[in-house]
Amino acid sequence: AQTVTQSQPEMSVQEAETVTLSCTYDTSESDYYLFWYKQPPSRQMILVIRQEAYKQQNATENRFSVNFQKAAKSFSLKISDSQLGDAAMYFCAATTSGTYKYIFGTGTRLKVLA
């Protein structure tokens, strides 16, 4: 069975600074995908970034990048130049080809301080 663990219930970052959110996962599958989703207060979840397990290169989307360590089963999210609008719950999720159902972590609440 797949598991996803987020060990940081809450993180804070100063505006314009960089923050890293941690995620570890466990799976016996070889073909899987990893995601970070953002859930602002009272708003729907939106995709931040995705990583295919077969790709060695770390995914990057503007100010968001991941550090994908396959052997360590680690998938952290780095947010550069943090903005007030980045404040939200961030969920790490994993899925495998075939079912594509997501297994989510418990989330990390990110606070951005002005």
**Nearest CB to another protein, comparing residues 50 and 73:** 50
- Asked if 32 touches another protein (CB under 8 A), the answer is no
Among 64, 65, 76, 102, binds another protein (CB under 8 A): 102
**What per-residue string of b and e applies to 18-36 under the rule 16 or more CB within 10 Å gives b?**
ebebbbbbebeeeebbbbb
- Contact call for residue 64 and another protein (CB under 8 A): no
| Contact between 112 and 11 (Cβ < 8 Å) | no
Q: How many CB atoms lie within 10 A of CB 67?
A: 15
- List residues near another protein by CB under 8 A: 4, 6, 33, 35, 37, 43-47, 50, 91, 93, 97, 99-107
